Structure 1
Amino acid sequence: MSQSHALSDDQVGQELKKMTAFIKQEAMEKAREIEIKADEEFSIEKSKLVRQETSSIDTTYEKKFKQAQMSQQITRSTVANKTRLKVLSARQELLDGIFEAAEKKLGQATKDKGKYQGILKNLMLEGFYALNEGKVLVRGRKADYDVLKKAIGDAIKEYKDKVGKDIQVEIDGSNPLPEGSAGGVSIVGAGGKIDINNTFEERLKLLQDSALPSIRTTLFGKNENRKFYD
């Protein structure tokens, strides 16, 4: 038969200390686990926030960089266009100056009457060939009528020699060229319906249109951006 023994106060105190120590140890371990878990979650959250902020900074920087690039391109394009326009304007002024100078010298061709007579003959012949009619009118400056009559005789003879046909040519005294004209002639056919303007001013305009590309090339060199040529 077993006999139960009651625990003494010392034994009870020791057991309480053991239980208290065990509970305290458990609490410390649990606290440590919580601390470690909290640190891990803090690190994860911190890394997440760092990534988010880094991504935001990268996005903002990329946006600002693109804006800066665009602004720089616009500035470069604006400067390039302004420079190009200034160059084109300067070139055009030079070309205009060349033809203005040429226009001022047109009248000098009429001073040598013999040479001028030959020029008038050739200008008329060009009109005769183009019209191919038996009768035409020729308009000139009143001051040129004497030399014009001689040139008409030369032109009629050469036309008959080249074409084998006669042509009747009269000076249109009722419609002379303006005295301010530099010279040349106007050949009228088809009963006044066709007027071939072979005045010096008109010939210079034609020359300006036809010779301008080659003049540009001579003065400024070949245009590397141009792909097609007439």
Structure 2
Amino acid sequence: MSQSHALSDDQVGQELKKMTAFIKQEAMEKGREIEIKADEEFAIEKSKLVRQETAAIDSTYAKKFKSAQMSQQITRSTVANKTRLKVLSARQELLDTIFEQAQKKLGEATKDKGKYTEILKNLALEGFYALNEQKLQVRGRKKDNDLIKKALEGACKEYKEKTKKEIEATIDEANPLPEGSTGGLSIVGGGGKIDINNTFEERLTLLQDNALPSVRTTLFGKNENRKFYD
């Protein structure tokens, strides 16, 4: 090799420095690229993990919230039902008390003989019209026999006047009402097969069954949940 083309030690050193600087620069740029890419991948993975955890947390919260809502609804329903049952029980107790008091007062209607005779007459007439027979028997308390006879006279007379039909009503003394009865009559027809129970106890029972809705409305007002009325 000629001397003109030979490089000096200084020139070689400079070239090496240039090459070293170039390689170092390339390495730094490559390192930055790798770092940037790593940061991007980290950010992406981090965002993915955050979304997954957020979704898991949201799902867990939704389940717990739904469970809490159901538990709250069950509690409310239980409390409402218990309260409703207590109200219904209190109302029924009041109604029972009212009819018990009415039961105790039934006998008071027999104290005024004039009024009681009129009541017996009307009870007998009701049976007469319902049975529409020529001969009937009437059962009452033994101690009321005198009043019943008088009542039957008036009832037969009125029946004949209203229907233009003959009727004969007698007291069935062999089968009186129990002495524990509070009063009233039982009208028997159809050869003893048909019995219209017009005793005070039976009339109160009918009243209790038929008038109970009206009594409830009077005491407690209309039932907002009821859509149909007879």
User: The TM-score by the shorter chain falls in which range?
Assistant: over 0.9
Q: Provide the secondary structure at the position in 1 that maps to 2:133.
A: coil
Corresponding residue number in structure 2 for 1:209: 209
The total of aligned residue pairs comes to 229
Q: What is the CA–CA distance in structure 2 between the aligned matches of 1:156 and 1:28, rounded to whole Å?
A: 131
Write the letter of the residue equivalent to 1:144: D
Corresponding residue number in structure 2 for 1:227: 227
Q: Which moved more, 1:93-102 or 1:19-28?
A: 19-28
After the TM superposition, which residues 1-230 of structure 1 pair with which residues of structure 2 at under 5 Å, given as runs? 5-230=5-230
Residue 17 (structure 1) shift: 1.9
- Once the two structures are superposed, residues 47-78 of structure 1 have per-residue CA deviations (whole angstroms, 9 ceiling, x without a partner) of 11111111111111121111111111111111
Residue 168 (structure 1) shift: 1.5
- Once the two structures are superposed, residues 84-116 of structure 1 have per-residue CA deviations (whole angstroms, 9 ceiling, x without a partner) of 111111111111111100000101111111111
What are the ranges of 5 or more consecutive residues in structure 1 without an aligned counterpart? none
Q: What is the CA–CA distance in structure 2 between the aligned matches of 1:187 and 1:65, rounded to whole Å?
A: 70
- Once the two structures are superposed, residues 181-229 of structure 1 have per-residue CA deviations (whole angstroms, 9 ceiling, x without a partner) of 1110111111122111100000001111222122111111122222111
State percent identity of aligned pairs: 83
Write the letter of the residue equivalent to 1:58: D
Q: Provide the secondary structure at the position in 2 that maps to 1:105.
A: helix
Q: Provide the secondary structure at the position in 2 that maps to 1:34.
A: helix
TM-score w.r.t. the length of structure 2 is 0.95
Residue 161 (structure 1) shift: 0.6
Q: Provide the secondary structure at the position in 2 that maps to 1:107.
A: helix
Q: What is the CA–CA distance in structure 1 between the aligned matches of 2:193 and 2:101, rounded to whole Å?
A: 34
TM-score w.r.t. the length of structure 1 is 0.95
What are the ranges of 5 or more consecutive residues in structure 2 without an aligned counterpart? none
